Amino acid sequence: MNIVIAGGGTGGHLFPGVAIAQEFLRRDGAARILFLGTEKGLESRVLPNLGLALETVPVSGFKGKGMGQKLGALLALPGAFLRAAACLRRHRADLVLGLGGYISFPGIAAAKALGIPSAIHEQNSVPGLSNRVLGTIADRIFISYEESRPFFNARKTVFSGMPVRMPRQAAETLSDDGRLCVFICGGSQGAHAINEAMMEALPSFESSRDSLRFIHQTGAMDAEMVSREYEKHGFTAAVSPFIDDMYSSYAQAHIVVSRAGASTLAELALCGKPSILIPYPYAAHNHQEHNARAFAAKGAACMLLAGELTGSSLAQAVLALHADRKKVADMAACARLLAQPDAAGRVVEECCRLAAQKGGEHGYR
């Protein structure tokens, strides 16, 4: 099969596609996978390192942009559509899968125009605008949360769960030197508010310095500042702007401090990691808070809203778990119960069925 996956920009719109691509290749080593993305998105750096092909499309988003930028993005859509259509023809695509976000628009629209089977995957409990629109033309809609089902055509909607690229063995901590390992990862681009709060929290940890260590993904802007602060306060910390191998970091961590994007939560569940979740307050439809509340209600996480986030409140949350290792273990068990290790397999199986149902030679060939 020749598969085109339209997704990128951020980790949340890229890594589920990587998991699906790897599952296609695991099942069929002859499968040809092509990603559609942008030059500026995370995909341009991550995919070449994974040996996955990428072609870029000149498209940009509307959210949070000024009127001039929105107009420019709108005017670029016809060119993006033509570029995507050319990519699909050249790749002789049997199926196109969109992962939400603006890059999905030209890919799925081109598939529809060319008569190629298409599907979308919705990561969050409340669908974003892109997938709400594309759901009307896609042949299949995969959802990660049952709460998002009412937004789509029931006959086309399939519950798959959230595909993640973590190996199943990531659930266990690799080594334990007796110190509580705290992994801070605001997201693929970091989170400045979390970085600042963590630095403000460091003086509160000084009496526990010998029993704590940190792994911190900061994003590019804050890496130097964060590294300097850990050193200033005498803490052991592995600081990096971006972590390619999240598995090794999850495997070392006892607790994780993070945003509440759907991909991150799926990884936390698969790896069985207790978490302190700080939802991004400006996420579309406030979906990160919905995600975090679901995890907290199941006993897998503690939650701090953006308005509650200070150095003091974050320190208090970390120290409470530091003092109660049984609670950490209980939260880990609850997190594992939320795991969906077969999500990528469900997507691949249904995509294969869809391609077979709509099989035969496509009209453009």
pLDDT of 63 > 90? The answer is: no
What is residue 364's predicted lDDT score, i.e. its pLDDT?
Answer: 40
Strand ranges of the sheet holding 32-37, from the earlier edge strand across to the other edge: 53-56, 32-37, 2-6, 95-98, 118-122, 140-143, 157-159
What token pair was written down for 246?
């999240």
CA distance 241 to 75: 34
CA distance 130 to 284: 11
Q: Which among 354, 278, 261 is positioned nearest to 16, based on CA atoms? A: 261
Residue reference for tokens 């030679």: 361
pLDDT digits (tens, 9 = 90+) for 197-222: 999 999 999 999 999 999 999 998 99
pLDDT of 363 > 50? The answer is: no
pLDDT of 362 > 50? The answer is: no
Average pLDDT over residues 55-74: 68
Q: Are 347 and 20 in contact (CB under 8 A)?
A: yes
Q: CATH 3.40.50.2000: does it fit domain 2-162+341-357? A: yes
CA distance 255 to 238: 15
- Local confidence band at 64 (pLDDT 50, 70, 90 cut-offs): low
CA distance 272 to 334: 8
With residue 317 as reference, give the H or E element that holds it: helix 311-322
Residues 6+ apart with CB under 8 A from 20: 5, 97, 121, 163, 344, 347, 348
- Local confidence band at 365 (pLDDT 50, 70, 90 cut-offs): very low
Q: Which among 42, 72, 68 is positioned nearest to 60, based on CA atoms? A: 72
With residue 308 as reference, give the H or E element that holds it: none
pLDDT of 67 > 50? The answer is: yes
What is residue 45's predicted lDDT score, i.e. its pLDDT?
Answer: 87
- Local confidence band at 165 (pLDDT 50, 70, 90 cut-offs): confident
- Local confidence band at 139 (pLDDT 50, 70, 90 cut-offs): very high
Q: What share of the chain is helix, strand, coil (3-state, %, to 5)?
A: 50, 15, 35
SS3 assignment, position 191: coil
What is residue 171's predicted lDDT score, i.e. its pLDDT?
Answer: 47
Q: CATH 3.40.50.2000: does it fit domain 168-337? A: yes
What is residue 75's predicted lDDT score, i.e. its pLDDT?
Answer: 64
Residue reference for tokens 């130097």: 224
Give the residue with greater pLDDT, 274 vs 168: 274
Q: Which among 161, 190, 167 is positioned nearest to 42, based on CA atoms? A: 190
- Local confidence band at 361 (pLDDT 50, 70, 90 cut-offs): very low
Residue reference for tokens 């971006």: 242
CA distance 73 to 254: 43
pLDDT digits (tens, 9 = 90+) for 224-258: 999 999 999 999 999 999 888 888 899 999 999 99
> Could you tell me if residue 261 is left (phi over 0), alpha (psi between -120 and 50 degrees) or otherwise beta?
beta
- Cα 321–Cα 324–Cα 328 angle in degrees, nearest 5: 65
Per the DSSP assignment, residues forming a β-bridge with 141 are: 120, 157
What is residue 357's predicted lDDT score, i.e. its pLDDT?
Answer: 87
Give the residue with greater pLDDT, 170 vs 294: 294
Residue reference for tokens 């200033």: 232
Average pLDDT over residues 103-116: 94
Q: Which among 248, 247, 198 is positioned nearest to 219, based on CA atoms? A: 198
If you average pLDDT over every residue of the chain, what do you get? 89
What is residue 8's predicted lDDT score, i.e. its pLDDT?
Answer: 83
Weakest-pLDDT range from 31-40, 129-138, 187-196, 200-209: 187-196
CA distance 57 to 65: 19
Average pLDDT over residues 79-89: 92
pTM: 0.82
Q: Are 3 and 149 in contact (CB under 8 A)?
A: no
Same fold, 2-162+341-357 and 168-337: yes
Residue-range domain boundaries for the chain: 2-162+341-357, 168-337
Average pLDDT over residues 57-61: 73
What is residue 174's predicted lDDT score, i.e. its pLDDT?
Answer: 55
What is residue 41's predicted lDDT score, i.e. its pLDDT?
Answer: 83
Neighbours of 343 (CB within 10 A): 24
Residues 6+ apart with CB under 8 A from 228: none
pLDDT of 260 > 50? The answer is: yes
